[in-house]
Structure 1
C-alpha cells in the first residue's frame, strides 16, 4: 500500500489532506456504471442541481495510468512495475478543482434557454493540468489494468473518502410548507465501486447504464471534440504568432482537424474489453449494489436522467420534487 500526498480544491477553496480528521458524512450520492455510461457528466450536473460537492474518482486512477505511460511502462508489464508505480504516486501531489460555474452546455434540446451546464473539473498532477491528457485513448486502454491492482485500489480508497469529505457542501435550512427544514450537505461521487466499496452506506446509490453502441458513440464524440478543441487552440496560437500581418496573409499553413482517434467500432471493442476487466477483476469488481436504483439512459435525455436522480435525492432528504413529469 502507498500513501499519496493529496489535496483537493473545491469551490470554497477548502484544502484537505489525508492526515486530517474527517467530519461526519451527511448525504452521499454514489453513481456507478460501466465506461462511457455518462456517469461523470451526470454526477457533475446532479451536484450542481443540488448544490453538492463532486469528486471524479476515476481521475485518480487515470493520473496513476498517466504516470505509468510517462515512465514508459508497457501495458503487459504493469504487474512487474506496480511497486515502482506505487512509489511514483506516493511522491506525487494531486489536486482537483471543481469549476461549478464553467463547463459545456448539453446539446440536442429544443429550447436553448433550458440547457443544463455540466460543471467543469480541472485535474492537476504535480501542479500540471492533465485534465485532457488523462482522457486520451492511450490512458483509456491502460487504466483498467492499473485500477485492477489491489494495492492501488486500497490506497485510492483512502483518497476517495478524504477528497469526498473535503468537497462535501454544508447543510442549510429552507422554508417548506410553512416549516423550517434542514437540508443536509452532500457530495456526489462517480466510479465503478462507489456504492459497493467506497461508500457502501451511501444514502442514494445509482447504477447508470446504456447500450454498448450508445456508449461507444458517446466516447467517439468525446474524442472528436478533444481533437476539434486542440485544432481550434492551435489555430488561435498560430494567429497570435503571425501577429495579423498587414497584407492579411500568413506564412503558416492552415490547421486541419486530423481524425487520429479510433472508429466507433474500435471503441465498442475497447469498451467491451474494459467491461470484462471491470466485472471480472478480483478486487472491488463492477457490480450493481443490492439497494441501487438502476437507470438505463440509452433513450433518455440528459435532463431526464439528471433531474430524476436529483429528485430521488430530494425525496430521501424529505424535500419536495422539482421536476415531476
Structure 2
C-alpha cells in the first residue's frame, strides 16, 4: 500500500511539473541597521527589476504613531492595547515608480528613487512617521514580541499583495525565458525571520557617522522644502518652519549617537534581534555610490535567476 501511494505521488508530481507548476516568486530581503540606505536602495532595486516593494520598517513606524496618538508611552505596560490598535488598523504602501515626489528625488547618475507613500487608515502619514518623536520611540515598539508578531502578519500580507507576475527576460545566453515576478522588502529581520527562505539576502551596512550625515541631509532637505512651500503660499507657517532647525532637528553628532543607541537596542533585543543571516551577502556602502550598490544587488538577483547581468561596468 505504501509503495502504491509513493508511486502515485511520483506520477502526480511528474504530471504537475510536466504541465508547469507556478514558480515561486523571487524574494529579495535587505536588512541592516538604521539609516544604512535600505529603503532607498530597495526601492531602486525593485524599480530596476520590475518587482514589488515593501518597506517593513514603516509598519513599525505606523505602530509607533498609533501609540503616540493614543498617549501610550510605556510600551511594556500597554503592549496589548497597541496590538489591538494594530489589528484594527489598515496599512497600505503605495509604490509609485513613475510619479513625482513632493521632496527632491535622490538621483545619482541614471538612478531615481521611486516614491513611496504610507497610508495608515487611509491617511497619508509618510512624513509624520519619519519625525524625531517617532524615531526616538520606534525601537521600544519593535522590541516587544507580541507587537512584532502582529506586525509580521501585516508585513507578509503586504509582501504577498506586492508580488509581481512573471515576465519574459533574457538569460545569460541571450535566449528569452519566463522568470517569476518578485518583491523586495527591507528591514532588520527580513532574511532571518520574515522570509528566511528568500532567494537573495542582503545585509546593507555603513559607519554610524556616514549614516548620520545621510539622515541629517534628509531632514534638512525636508525642512527647506517645507519652508519654501510655506513661503510660496505666503502663509504664517513660513517663519515657524525655519525656526524648527535647532529644536526639532538634532546635529549630525546627536543623530550618530541616536543611531548607535538604536543599533544597540536592535542587536540586543530579545525578539528577532538584528543579525546577519548566514547566507546573506554583506555590502558596506560607506564609500560606495548609490548607483553602485543598487546595480550590484540587481545583478546578484539576475545571477540567481539565470539572467544576463546588465551593469558589470559600474
TM-score, with normalisation over the residues of structure 1?
A: 0.83
Secondary structure at the residue paired with 1:131?
Answer: coil
Confirm whether residue 60 of structure 1 aligns to residue 48 of structure 2: no
Aligned 8 A contact 1:105 1:115 in 2: no
After superposition, residues 1-16 of structure 1 pair within 5 angstroms as none
Alignment deviations for residues 102-138 of structure 1 (CA, whole Å, 9 cap, x no partner): 344335x5xxxx3311011111111111000000011
Q: Distance in 2 between matches of 1:279 and 1:53?
A: 28
2:81 to 71, 80, 84: 84
Offset of 1:86 from its aligned partner?
A: 1.4
1:80-229 matches, cutoff 5 A: 80-102=77-99, 103=101, 104-107=104-107, 109=108, 114-176=109-171, 177=173, 179-229=175-225
Cα separation, 2, equivalents of 1:71 and 1:25: 40
Encode CA deviations 1:221-280: one digit per residue, 9 max, x unaligned: 1111121122122123327xxxxxxxxxxxx69646231300111111111110010000
What is the CA-CA distance between 1:179 and the residue it aligns to? Answer: 2.7
Whole-angstrom distance in 2 between the partners of 1:200 and 1:268: 30
Q: Structure 2 matches for 1:24-39, cutoff 5 A?
A: 25-39=24-38
1:264 aligns with 252
Secondary structure of 2:78's counterpart equals: helix
**Aligned counterparts of 1:253 and 1:316: Cα–Cα separation in 2:** 51
Cα separation, 2, equivalents of 1:175 and 1:214 = 37
Distance in 2 between residues matched to 1:299 and 1:178, nearest whole Å:
34
How many residue pairs get aligned? The number is 284
Q: Does 1:321 align with 2:290?
A: no
Conserved 8 A contact 1:170-1:186 = yes
**CA distance in structure 2 between the aligned counterparts of 1:210 and 1:274, rounded to whole angstroms:** 14
2-side partners of 1:254 and 1:130: how far apart?
21
- Gap runs ≥5 in structure 1: 1-22, 240-251
2:227–2:238: 8 Å Cα contact kept in structure 1? no
Aligned to 1:281: 269
Q: Does 1:312 align with 2:308?
A: no
Query: CA–CA distance in 2 between the matches of 1:61 and 1:253?
Result: 30
Deviates more, 1:227-236 or 1:264-273: 227-236
What is the CA-CA distance between 1:175 and the residue it aligns to?
Answer: 4.5
After superposition, the CA RMSD in angstroms is 1.7
Distance in 2 between residues matched to 1:46 and 1:253, nearest whole Å: 37
Identify if the C-alpha distance between structure 1 residues 305 and 81 changes in structure 2 by more than 3 Å, giving closer, same or farther.
same
213 and 253 in structure 1: CA distance in 2 versus 1, 3 angstrom threshold: closer
Give secondary structure in 2 for the equivalent of 1:62. helix
Larger fraction in helix: 2
**Deviation larger for 45-54 or 78-87:** 78-87
Instruction: Note the alpha carbon deviations across 1:33-91, whole angstroms, 9 max, x for none.
Output: 000000000000000000000000001000000011112222xx111111111122222
Q: Indicate if the aligned counterparts of 1:105 and 1:116 stay in contact, CA closer than 8 A.
A: no
Please state whether the residue corresponding to 2:242 is helix, strand or coil.
coil
Whether the 8 Å contact between 1:31 and 1:207 is mirrored in structure 2 is: yes
